[in-house]
Amino acid sequence: MTEESYINPLKRAVPYIRLYKGKTFVLKVGGNVLKDARALAGFCEDCSLLHQLGIRLAIVHGGGPQATELSKRLGHEPTIVGGRRVTDDQTLEVAKMVYAGKLNLELLASLEAKDVPGVGLTGPDARLIVAKRRPRSKVAGTEEEIDWGHVGDIQHVNAELLHKLMETGYVPVICSLATDGEGGILNVNADGVARHVAVALRAEKLLLLTDRAGLLEDVNDPASVLSYVDTDRIARLRAEGKVSGGMLPKIEACVGALEGGVRRTHIIDGMRTHALLAEVFTNEGCGTMIVGPKEKEAYLHDEAPKK
């Protein structure tokens, strides 16, 4: 390789490094990424570089596939409606074992191997995530009311705790369990946790790493990834039925984060090597960036880095 092949990418990254140093990124990593050893190692390596560059990180992780697998091994078929898990007593026990136990610990170990000083957290830790039990409700497109069981809707995030950890150089690693404030534990959607954490921290970016290339123009064409959309376009896609299943809570998290003051949100393929760095440090990116009306104008007319 020539000297230029090493230097030129660094030069292209400088405007982004200058722009994002000292800013906060909230990263949500999905269960399918955590299941894949290569993808997990790549994610942790990318986190290490971002951390070394002075970008403050908070990581939220899911674990739906692992929870489903353990539930089935225990003879209990999980129920998922609209991309969200109904949580009866047995499912809650599985969630506690998988999210707060196995996955959080293994992610911390993988981050530690890349010199990222992670601190594992759950909702009950210093009331980090307080939620209210979700009432029976309907899902779009159905008439039946769903009893969600031990599922919570987030009411509060203890941003002070997260700020103190990040100010001293630590990276919070948060699983998707909340407290109800009265000694009970509730299962909360990890995309929703990431959204609320990003808003509470006034994050520059919310990035959701999944096993999909991003938001698709045509759900039947994996190559039809939309590199950039605004919330108006999202509303049209939803009306056309082009957003469904597990993508729904991700889109809702992105839109909610934008409405809460987060500048830019992204859905990217965490199975792709260095997808996180490509999305952050190149104009082209590698997934879907979603912005609100105000940021849309800046994106279209500003000469600054696009993503």
Give yes or no for a contact between 229 and 47, defined as CB atoms under 8 angstroms apart. Answer: no
CATH number of 23-301: 3.40.1160.10
User: Dihedral of CA 180/198/300/271: which sign?
Assistant: negative
Site of tokens 């369990």: 177
127 neighbors 179 (Cβ within 8 angstroms): yes
Indicate the pTM of the whole model: 0.92
Asked whether 149 and 35 are in contact (CB, 8 A), the reply is no
Residues 6+ positions from 278 with CB-CB distance below 8 Å: 272, 284, 285, 286
As a whole number of angstroms, the distance between CA 59 and CA 107 comes to 10
pLDDT at position 239 is: 84
Q: How far apart are CA 123 and CA 133, in angstroms?
A: 14
Give the pLDDT confidence of 237-291 residue by residue, as tens digits.
888 887 877 888 899 999 999 999 999 999 999 999 999 999 998 887 889 999 9
According to DSSP H, which parts of the chain are helical?
3-20, 31-35, 37-52, 64-73, 89-95, 104-113, 159-167, 190-200, 231-239, 247-259, 275-281, 293-301
Each domain of the chain, given as residue ranges in start order, spans: 23-301
Residues 6+ positions from 4 with CB-CB distance below 8 Å: none
Instruction: Pick out the chain residues at pLDDT < 70.
Output: 1-6, 140-142, 296-307
Instruction: Tell me the sheet residues that pair with 108.
Output: none
